[in-house]
Structure 1
């Protein structure tokens, strides 16, 4: 353990879905494994479930943490990262007279390399199944629709669009392992320039039902892979599946496939640990936070 003891306050959004909650705490355990011997990891939730941010902060104090890195478990920077979480943390820090123990806030995991690797893995799973033509005949090409949660923050929406481009048109180890020798997923699966797009479930445009309808009506695509960019199970993932099923019923000539959400994968834990290490390596008061 670092000296003095370092605490990590891992903050999830929270969900009413018990499976999603369980997955969040599983991720917390995996992060604790990543940082074993260097930091105390305390998961907590912004809303819906316990422990709250207030409770999590106090537990770290009770465990002896003298410096605390706040790690918001967010895919992109938006309202929660910029105001809700800092407000809640600073409130309990004032109440406990421990404002000086806030060592900093780690950045959202966004396009951290481990996250890009995991997104590509999920997409390749679905594209691999979509590439099978039971009739052995040539078919219309496959389209990829990346779905973000959506945010009123234009920076978060732009980051989601950029993630789509990096995922589909960038190089990656998973592509090399597929044995195709292609430069990118788009090349490997022959996805045309107009065959991949970014859409959103709420609060940003375009919305998923509109995107699916517009792409289907072109008549260009025989299959559509919908990839929800979500961390855990919950109502949002279920709603995306339902909206895709509604499109499939309307456009029965097209095969629709919904990819798995990211889940409490070790790559997510590694991405969070990297963000924490990046912050911890900075000099604060002349001392590095982690060895």
Structure 2
């Protein structure tokens, strides 16, 4: 059986974020040289899912492994993508297909988040004093996710935050969301900064794959919190990016099934 991989991204209106998705598609192809890989997008940009499916069919595959590039399982993974894939399969009933799970708490994702948080701490201190700065219990971590109405996705984000925080020598930690779920990021930042035993530093780590309007909006909310609480240093970490770690996490999902 000749297999191919359909990597399905959410899509963004941001040109840089779109380019980064296709950089990741190329990374995944390097991880899986035995299978053709096509990238496609659910929203905003082309190629769409139907076009990506057809490209794999034209390349002669007889089985399509659908890989949603999604952090958690919610409406897109459970409903939107399967519905479109089913429509595609009706046009090619001889093509077998199946869909792997979201990235969730794949070890590569946890490792990458820890790395991003450590980089945020080290980069901020080097900029301020030219020296490395180790994380310690005077630092609080606030993880922020995109947000979802799906309670399972919300719970998955909270568990991921616990897993990441337990890997770091920090003080308190909290989870927040940008939209569609509570608590929202500004409220959590105010709460953390207003505690009697408030931290000296708050690192906010956006749990986002690529550059886009959402990352910029979160960075803006962190900057606003810094203005409201000048006695606390706020640092916004970087997004995950089109890294080999993310590609390896997708590979893990594809090869487990």
**What whole-Å deviation, never above 9, does each CA across 1:13-42 have from its counterpart, x for those lacking one?**
000000000000000000000000x21100
Q: Whose radius of gyration is greater, 1 or 2?
A: 1
Task: Give the corresponding residue for 2:223.
Answer: 245
Instruction: Extract unaligned runs of 5+ from structure 1.
Output: 170-183, 280-291
Within the alignment, does 1:207 sit opposite 2:184 as a pair? yes
Within the alignment, does 1:146 sit opposite 2:161 as a pair? no
Per-residue deviation, 1:114: 0.9
Find 2:213's aligned residue among 221, 225, 235.
235
Find 2:173's aligned residue among 196, 200, 203.
196
Per-residue deviation, 1:129: 4.5
**What whole-Å deviation, never above 9, does each CA across 1:160-207 have from its counterpart, x for those lacking one?**
1111111111xxxxxxxxxxxxxx31xx3xx23xx1001000001000
Change in 2 beyond 3 A, CA 1:19/1:130: closer
- In the TM superposition, 1:170-189 aligns within 5 A as 184-185=167-168, 188=169
- In the TM superposition, 1:76-225 aligns within 5 A as 76-94=72-90, 96-98=91-93, 100-129=94-123, 141-169=138-166, 184-185=167-168, 188=169, 191-192=170-171, 195-219=172-196, 220-225=198-203
Instruction: Extract unaligned runs of 5+ from structure 2.
Output: none
SS of residue in 1 equivalent to 2:98 = strand
**What whole-Å deviation, never above 9, does each CA across 1:37-81 have from its counterpart, x for those lacking one?**
x21100000010000001011111001111101110000000000
Find 1:31's aligned residue among 28, 40, 48.
28
Find 1:43's aligned residue among 39, 49, 58.
39
d(CA) in 1 for partners of 2:223, 2:252: 37
Per-residue deviation, 1:130: 5.7
What is the aligned length?
Answer: 250
Computed over aligned residues only, the root mean square deviation of the Cα atoms, in angstroms, reads 1.8
SS of residue in 2 equivalent to 1:243 = helix
Per-residue deviation, 1:103: 2.7
Q: TM-score, normalised by structure 1?
A: 0.82
d(CA) in 2 for partners of 1:77, 1:233: 21
